[in-house]
Homo-oligomer: A and B are copies of this chain.
Amino acid sequence: MRFDIPLLTAALVLACSSASAQDTPAKPKSAQEIIDAAPASDWRTLDPANTLYLELATGRVIMELAPAFAPEHVANIKALAKGGYWNGLSINRSQDNFVVQWGDPTEDEKARKALPKKVKAKLPVEFTRSASKLAFDRLPDADGWAREVGFSNGFAAARDPQKGEAWLAHCYGAIGAGRDVAADSSNGTELYVVTGQSPRQLDRNITLVGRVVQGMELLSVLPRGTGALGFYEKAEQRVPIKSIRLALDLPKKDRVALQALRTDSKAFTDAVEARRNRRDDWYKVPAGHIDLCNVSLPVRKPPAK
């Protein structure tokens, strides 16, 4: 999920961004150059109270929760993590071009792992929120799925000004709470992550709770399940979850310091524009457009002081 990628000149490759062009200062800056030049104040440090670590055998997936959009779900997810609910459970589903999903794979609901203390068995629907108190940095680009799209404190989001509603968008890396047919049947135990073409038809139909900020490549490569909906058919195919923990519950030395580029910063706006209309030598026709889910959200390690 790098925001910008250099042109590899040695090979006949599909390139998709600008070469560094420091010797030709007249050229417009590339998105990466804009990001690299962003002042420290354009970066925010991820809050360990809203950061989850999913530990797999292959590494750590880091997720940022969005309490502004799904406060009840996020509170439950934190309680589930604190109670060690997912530790020893598994990723049970990987459907090509759609999602991966984890939780307790036991079919018999009564035989499933007990919920830890302070975890609610039932949550309200949090498909949309009142837009009035939510930040919203609007993308000027047209969108077929919503009247307005943009970013709310680092999350891809959409808005209906007539209804005064806002909601998170199903872009690559979005994390949601699986549910049954009843709208209010999610409790946060079954989480899914979008690994395919943005399934925006799910927007406003299910509660999104955050997004993966690092480690998507550990989820997106999981073998596709051959059962219905991409569920693994055999227990041994499931991908074990070592643990899911809140960063705040770990000693500081075990946390990963990460910063995200503020989506209300000038650098972000400029970087999006540089991607909307690529001006490097490789691109012959600037698109003049960018889709909400084609906008990458830059994350970095804090620079050495």
- Do B200 and A291 touch (CB < 8 A)? yes
- Do A285 and B204 touch (CB < 8 A)? yes
Decide: A14 near B145, CB < 8 A? Known: A201-B290, A293-B197: no
Contacts of A186 in B (CB 8 A): 12
A83 within 8 A of B: no
Contacts of A231 in B (CB 8 A): 8, 13
A111 within 8 A of B: no
Cα-based distance from A211 to B199 in the complex (angstroms): 20
A176 within 8 A of B: yes
Decide: A15 near B97, CB < 8 A? Known: A201-B294, A204-B284: no
Distance between A124 CB and nearest chain B CB, rounded to angstroms: 14
Distance between A62 CB and nearest chain B CB, rounded to angstroms: 14
- Do B96 and A1 touch (CB < 8 A)? yes
- Do B10 and A229 touch (CB < 8 A)? no
How many residues from A make CB contacts under 8 Å with B? Answer: 78
Q: Give how many copies assemble into the complex.
A: 2
Contacts of A183 in B (CB 8 A): 284
A180 within 8 A of B: yes
- Do B171 and A197 touch (CB < 8 A)? yes
Cα-based distance from A14 to B178 in the complex (angstroms): 4
A265 within 8 A of B: no
Contacts of A5 in B (CB 8 A): 95, 228-229
- Do B12 and A200 touch (CB < 8 A)? no
Report which of B103, B171, B221 forms a contact with A223, defined as CB distance below 8 A.
B221
- Do B229 and A1 touch (CB < 8 A)? no
- Do B6 and A228 touch (CB < 8 A)? yes
Question: Which residues of chain A from 257 to 303 have any CB-CB distance to chain B below 8 Å in the complex?
Answer: 275, 278, 281-285, 287, 289-291, 293-294
Sample of 7 A–B contacts (CB below 8 Å): A11-B190, A13-B231, A16-B201, A96-B217, A198-B291, A204-B284, A220-B220
Give the top 3 A-B pairs by smallest Cβ distance, nearest first.
A14-B178, A217-B224, A201-B287
